[in-house]
Structure 1
Amino acid sequence: MTRTSESVTPQLHDYLVAHSAPVDPVLADLAEETARRYPDQTTMQIGAEQGTFMTLLARIGGARDVVEVGTFTGYSAICMARGIPADGSLLALDVSEEWTALARRYWQRAGVADKIELRLAPALETLRALPGDRRFDLAFIDADKEGYIGYWEELVPRMRPGGVLLVDNTLSHGRVIDPAETSAPVQGIRDFNDHALADERVEPVLLPVGDGLTMARVRG
């Protein structure tokens, strides 16, 4: 029994991935092509174990309507789309035609393209323009860190009771606890973490998954 989470070394990470549901060839190919084409942005893509977790979470929670803020090359969208039923929908928000062109190709390969609606525009503008009655069961935020609180404030009221929000990179590679780290993205994460913790509309937990994954259930 331990009171803290295990420190995950590269070797232990390989072990846990090997003992999780296997990554299929589509996701493996997407991860490889993303790393080859965008070597300086590979940290923007979630890891295999996080993707599997998100698929299972969508299935366990019975999610039908999903939204993600920040799509990049489409890995997380595939994972969540696979966890929702055939008549479910995923609204994917991004600003890059280049990155999402790759995403579209792999959504087709994965057989989930008909579930995904991609909107290329600043996400905050898109969220604010949604019909007032648009509701979601699952949301994933993984975009500009300084914008997290704004996305959160638009999404929490749009979640169904019991809905779940996932927010990525909330440990910022450990920099959140480094007083010498004063960059805007890290401070944005600190501000968001404090904001989510103080939000009485949700029940949050910050998990040591990937680079930190905050999961919050919206109260009924």
Structure 2
Amino acid sequence: MTRHTEPLTPELLEYLVAHGAPVDDVLGDLAEETARSYPDLTSMQIGPEQGTFMTLLAQVAGARDVVEVGTFTGYSSICLARGIPDDGTLLALDVSEEWTSVARRYWERAGVAHKIDLRLAPALETLRALLPGPAFDLAFIDADKTGYIGYWEELVPRMRPGGVLLVDNTLSHGRVVDPAQDSPDVQAIRDFNDHALADPRTHLVLLPIGDGLTMARRLP
């Protein structure tokens, strides 16, 4: 029994990943291609332990209708799509044809392309164009950090009661607690964390998964 989360050494992280669901060839090849094609952007892709967690969470939550803000090369969307039933839908929002062209190839390989509705446009515009009212069981936000509060405000009213929101990078590589770090992205994460915590419509926890993963439940 312990009162705090154990820090993860590289060795402990390797052990943790090895003792979760194994990464298959599709996700492994996608991670390798992303690292090769976009070596400066690999931090935009979630890790295998987070992907497994999100698949399992979608299954446990019984999610059918999912929205993802920020798709990149498709790793997280594969994980989410695998967690919903065959007739479920994942609305994937991104602005890059280049990145999502990679995602499309791997969605086909993973056998989940038929579940995914990709919209290439600024995500805030797409969300605002959706019908008002509850529509989603699960949402994942992993896009431009300065847009997080806007995405949150559009998504919370569109979550079904009991629906789950996941928000990535909410520790900002530890910079949220460093007063010397004052970049727009870091301050945007601080502002979002305070905003979400104060939202009476949700109940949330910030988990030390990846670079910090906020999980919130939409209250009735």
Same fold flag (TM > 0.5) = yes
Partner of 1:180, secondary structure, is coil
Q: How far apart, CA to CA, are the structure 1 residues paired with 2:143 and 2:106?
A: 20
Q: Runs in 1 of length 4+ with deviation above 4 angstroms? A: none
Partner of 1:40, secondary structure, is coil
Partner of 2:26, secondary structure, is helix
Task: Give the share of equivalent positions with the same residue, in percent.
Answer: 79
Deviation at 1:155, TM superposition (A): 0.0
Partner of 1:176, secondary structure, is helix
Query: Which amino acid counterpart does residue 96 of structure 1 have in structure 2?
Result: S
Alignment of 1:54-73 (within 5 A): 54-73=54-73
Q: Does 1:139 align with 2:159?
A: no
Task: Please tell me whether the aligned partners of residues 134 and 157 of structure 2 are also in contact (alpha carbons under 8 angstroms).
Answer: no
Deviation at 1:132, TM superposition (A): 2.4
Partner of 2:209, secondary structure, is coil
Q: CA RMSD in A?
A: 0.6
* 1:9-40 per-position Cα deviation (integer Å, ceiling 9, x unaligned): 11111000000010111000000000000000
Query: Which amino acid counterpart does residue 187 of structure 2 have in structure 1?
Result: Q
- The TM-score normalised by the length of structure 1 is 0.99
* 1:45-86 per-position Cα deviation (integer Å, ceiling 9, x unaligned): 000000000000000000000000000000000000000000
Label 1:110 to 1:103 Cα distance change in 2 as closer, same or farther (>3 A): same
Alignment of 1:108-187 (within 5 A): 108-133=108-133, 135-187=135-187
Structure 1 gap ranges (5+): none
> Equivalent residue for 1:100?
100
Query: Which amino acid counterpart does residue 162 of structure 1 have in structure 2?
Result: G
Query: Which amino acid counterpart does residue 108 of structure 1 have in structure 2?
Result: E
Partner of 2:40, secondary structure, is helix
Q: How far apart, CA to CA, are the structure 2 residues paired with 1:12 and 1:25?
A: 23
Partner of 2:187, secondary structure, is helix
Q: How far apart, CA to CA, are the structure 2 residues paired with 1:47 and 1:59?
A: 19
Query: Which amino acid counterpart does residue 118 of structure 1 have in structure 2?
Result: L
Q: How far apart, CA to CA, are the structure 1 residues paired with 2:193 and 2:4?
A: 19
Between the two proteins, the alignment pairs up a number of residues equal to 220
